[in-house]
Amino acid sequence: MTLADGLGRNEDGVVRCRWGGGEERGVGARIDPGTDAVLIRAYHDHEWGLPVTDDVRLFEKLALEGFQAGLSWLTILRKREAFRRAFAGFDFREVARFGGRDVERLLGDASIVRHRGKIESTINNARRAVELVEAEGSLAAFVWRFEPDSAARPERLTHEALRELTQTDASRALAKELKRRGWTFVGPTTVYAFMQAMGLVDDHIEGCDARQRVEAARSSLTRPVT
């Protein structure tokens, strides 16, 4: 059976979004066909698109999307555990207390992406996250307000439709509001990637084995409220 564009069937028999199968052209970086493929497939199958309402995980993803700017997601995924160790598990209340010595420590940590601007942005955004939670009740309640209405979504999520979704009205609105509150490295394309990963939208292509699981999780989700 011929698969639709953007899908691939891997040797395990699972049909996935092509990038989720661990193919080089789908992740934007040279991959190891063993370790990297396992890492990417696990992320695609068990994380990407499943709805998240945990504040720490939401902050982590926003931070890692900022670090990804100019890089491939595979580069960040390979280093994710190192990032978690370096940034106190992305507990934003802890990261908000980081100071100059922490910046220098992180700049000396070869296991993460050593970019001063991105490191300082993460610390700044942690402080803004603390303020946002104080004002709104939770980070989850805030970001889920920007979940797009189904009418704003493609009727059928094909590879061609997905190529047009690098940013949306919802991601532009969320990015604008985050920037207004003092967040940095949160442009509308970065924010849309965050929305895809955290399940505010389901961008698994029609026919991907993960799509049904994601749709079921989204349907049963109790949306957080302030």
Residues with a catalytic annotation lie at 43, 65, 73
DSSP string across the chain? -PPPTTEEE-TTS-EEEGGGGT-HHHHTS---TTHHHHHHHHHHHHTTTS----HHHHHHHHHHHHHHTTS-HHHHHHHHHHHHHHTGGG-HHHHTT--HHHHHHHHT-TTS---HHHHHHHHHHHHHHHHHHHHHS-HHHHHGGGPPPGGGS-SS--HHHHHT-SS-HHHHHHHHHHHHTT--S--HHHHHHHHHHTTSS--PPTT-HHHHHHHHHHHH------
Sequence length of the chain is 226
